[in-house]
Chain A
Amino acid sequence: MKRMCITVMSLSRSAYLIREGFRSISTHGFMSFASVTIIMACLIIMGSVSLLTLNIDGMIKNLEDQNEVVAFVDEAYSEEDARALENRLTAIDNISNVQFVSRTDAMSNFMDNYSRDLMVGIDETVFRHRYVVQLTDIALMAQTKSALEAVEGVAKVNAHLDYARIFVTIRNVVTVVSLVLIVILVFISIFIMSNTIKLATFNRREEIAIMKMVGATNSFIRLPFIIEGLVLGILGGGLAFLAELGLYQLVTGRVVTSLTGSFIRVIPITQVALPMFIAFMGTGILVGVFGGVNAIRNYLKV
């Protein structure tokens, strides 16, 4: 019976505290609006930089994929023998795909690319059977080249090691710069967001002091602020997600269409929507809740 009374009491108390959290959002309307706006703005900036980085990284990866390695098969090998090498090549580490090109196809490709007049009097035996090899990681191109050369039947391997080095350098620089930028932005955003929430709770220090005076426990005072922070965080995160989604579609839809055919390939919205939603909501909720709790910490020390 006693336990039932306590449960009823805690339920009515929890309901009151949750109601207080919501009531406080409307009572302090302007500061709630400011908090949501700041959370939104910071998340949109962070999200935009992250999406830009992801796309640049994707484009570099795309360029890397085009930087193929060509393994020429020994002239003495018949087409059948040359094709038999495929399994041994794919077994090598760091090779994502191999494509066999017979000497007939190689000659045909050559003629497509250059003038047919150049090939007068020359037959296809000038060309070798070959494999066009794509790598998983371009940074390991030199090792993979050596491994390919070690395969019996492979006469020569053409690999643009210089290009590979340049791509790897660019990719590393972009990764480091964007990571540093995102970390700085995260800190600045958290600072701005928690200060806005701090400002929002500053006006309520008197209310907190009265609560303390009449014997409220710290957890009783904190809970409405946690509820409030949670709701503001969800609102800020959700609105920022929708805005970012619209912005991304607008930019990728309009600007990039004009550059079709170039190396620019954007990551489709369907691929980024879910991780972006989780990141935005998570950050919004974390900042809202911790910002709120942190902001009132000093007032609770009395």
Chain B
Amino acid sequence: MVEMKDVKVVYQSSDTVALDGISMRIDDGEFVFLVGPSGSGKSTIMKLITGEIRADAGKITINDFNMRKIKRRKLPKVRRTLGAIFQDYRLIENMNVYDNVAFAMRVVGAPNRVIRKRVPYVLELVGLDGREKRMPNELSGGEQQRVAIARALVNNPRMIIADEPTGNLDPVRSLELMLLFEKINKEMGTTIMVVTHEKELVNALEKRVITIENGRVASDETDVYYGYELK
């Protein structure tokens, strides 16, 4: 669950107001698209959720953690409730598919016997069974992004946040990926938040769309098409 109330973020170095009193609430089990032009504040919202930056004002709660007051050493606890996916996949190049996914479980101290059961299950879920031994550079872009999704899913997070996950994929692979997100959302009840620029994808899924402009929520509607026009 994400709850923001009058959240303000100012980048001191450039004196830029990135978020100007933004408020939103995403409940457990929702599927939300976050859209908006470049520089509107979408990435800042992602960074606030993962704890990379802190808000200057307002209230922000992520999966029951108060992000304004949380101590730095407690941030790993927040991050373990989240699964993050990025445009550039961010896989560890010298680890094979299995180890890239298992790595996320080792980080949280999961025992080997649990890892051995869970990793093949998640790889099958994202359609990568049989590719465990492959290295990231032996996979297509779509497959690499599926590894990243498997890694994000493996610890059974409450929420998956994906920052432009289809940015490097062709339209067919992009749609496949979105359908995979939808499946995860429906079958596992995981909250999904996808930051994207791709109008066709947003329109195809007909989910809740939050539009950000100039650091504010410009619109927040459900079952509608793309919430803003590219200028």
Q: Mark A residues whose CB is within 8 Å of B.
A: 8-10, 12-13, 16, 27, 206-207, 209-218, 220, 302
Contacts and interface: CB of A to CB of B under 8 A. Distances in A.
B68 to A, nearest CB: 18
Nearest to B83: A214
Contact of A210 (B78, B80, B92, B111): B92
Contacts of B225: none
Contacts of A13: 106, 109
28 contacts: A8-B111, A12-B112, A13-B109, A16-B106, A27-B94, A206-B90, A206-B92, A209-B90, A210-B91, A210-B92, A211-B107, A212-B76, A212-B79, A213-B50, A213-B79, A213-B90, A214-B79, A214-B84, A214-B104, A214-B107, A215-B76, A215-B79, A215-B104, A215-B108, A216-B107, A217-B73, A220-B107, A302-B52
B130 to A, nearest CB: 24
B228 interface: no
A213 B112 contact: no
Interface string B21-56: 000000000000000000000000000001010000
Contact of B109 (A9, A206, A218): A9
Contacts of A210: 90-92, 103
Contacts of A211: 107
A211 B75 CA distance: 12
Central interface residue in A9, A209, A213, A218, by most chain B CB within 10 Å: A213
A216 B94 CA distance: 19
Contacts of B151: 214
Given A12-B112, A27-B94, A302-B52, A215 B107 contact: yes
A215 B80 contact: yes
A211 to B, nearest CB: 6
B76 A216 contact: yes
Contacts of A218: 73
B117 interface: no
Contacts of A9: 109, 111
Interface string B103-122: 11011110110000000000
